[in-house]
Amino acid sequence: MQAMPPPPPVSLPADRASQRRFPVRLSRPWWQAGLSDNTLGLRGDAVLVCDGVTVTLQGLRSWQVAQVFNVVREGRSVAFQVLGEDRLVDRVRLWCRNVASAQAARLALPANVTAGAAQALQEHHQFEDRLDVAHPPPRWTRRLVAINLLVFALAATTGAGVLEPDPRVLLAWGTNFSPLTLHGQQWRLLTSMFLHFGLLHLAFNMWALLSGGRFAERLFGPRRFLVIYFAAGLSGSLTSALWNPQVNSAGASGAIIGVFGAILAWFLRADHQVPASVIRQQRTSGIVFILINLGYGATQSGIDNAAHLGGLVAGLLLGWLLARPDDGAVSEDRQDAADGPGIC
């Protein structure tokens, strides 16, 4: 936290007078670990009440904010800074029920902006609005997670194991084993992407998929996102089968690393209009996830780094090829919607 003078008040437009009560969640969803926490330690459900000047959170106890400024929306979350009576700055993040509710909450909150933040906030709001117009809300990321969870549960009921996996049972389910994959059972390149060696392996990959996949799906749109995900996953599986002919491999991290690679490739394009604050956040989380996987695979036995590298290369290439200028035009996706084991 840091001490600072209060921001100058800004008059509220007329459209901020409506919709001033919003059901919100104060606890961060576990899949959005990359977003900043509430520095005030707020938790649970509440109702956000705005009157244009003061802001109140009504939950187990009523909490009134002395002053709100620098409001920003990211998807269905709304974040802002507050200046308490001790003149210390804290950060609050709220999760609304949907994107429309988050948009309305942002407009209902006071429009105070500190010096130097106005341009950055305007760019951020324009970027979020362009994503909302260009693509439908992300759904395929959660569907992919659901498929992975379902397959894990079904495999566990046949003896594949929960904490201690049985590679022989998982082999029957379709793991990537080169002597079988490259000799008539090419379908294992795909099925191995949805199998995991134990609960910890599954949990880490699904957390990463939710963290990066939702942003990638909004950025590229559902069609391009699915192309990137499956192409990176298949590339990782094929690289693993060619590189490690005796490894029994499974996992979604080749596809997930490809998704993060595609995001990073988008940022390398000169014609994008992604705000610097979004780039910093996504670039940091993507690079950290990639380096952790590659570093862990280079130092630990039983980790299939070939799948990681194959997925990363495919993701970087497809991210560069499928990235488009971020001009806010309605995409085809939106129009259609309106209409041991080797662990990877």
Fill in the DSSP letter of residue 15: G
Q: Buried (b) or exposed (e) across 21-36, using 16+ Cβ within 10 A?
A: ebebbbebeebbebbe
* 3-state DSSP percent of the chain in helix, strand and coil, to 5: 50, 15, 35
Fill in the DSSP letter of residue 136: P
- Point out the catalytic residue in the list 201, 237, 308, 331: 308
Instruction: Look at strands 248-250 and 342-343 and give their pairing.
Output: parallel
Q: Report d(CA 332, CA 136) in Å as an integer.
A: 10
Alpha helix (H) ranges present in the chain? 99-108, 118-134, 140-157, 167-173, 178-181, 188-191, 199-220, 222-243, 253-268, 276-299, 305-322, 332-338
The residues that bridge with 89 in the sheet, in sequence order, are 83
**Encoding tokens for residue 218?**
């909004």
Amino acid at 181: T
The residues that bridge with 251 in the sheet, in sequence order, are none
308 is catalytic: yes
196 is catalytic: no
Q: Report d(CA 225, CA 230) in Å as an integer.
A: 9
- Point out the catalytic residue in the list 178, 253, 285, 331: 253
Looking at the annotation, which residues are catalytic?
253, 308
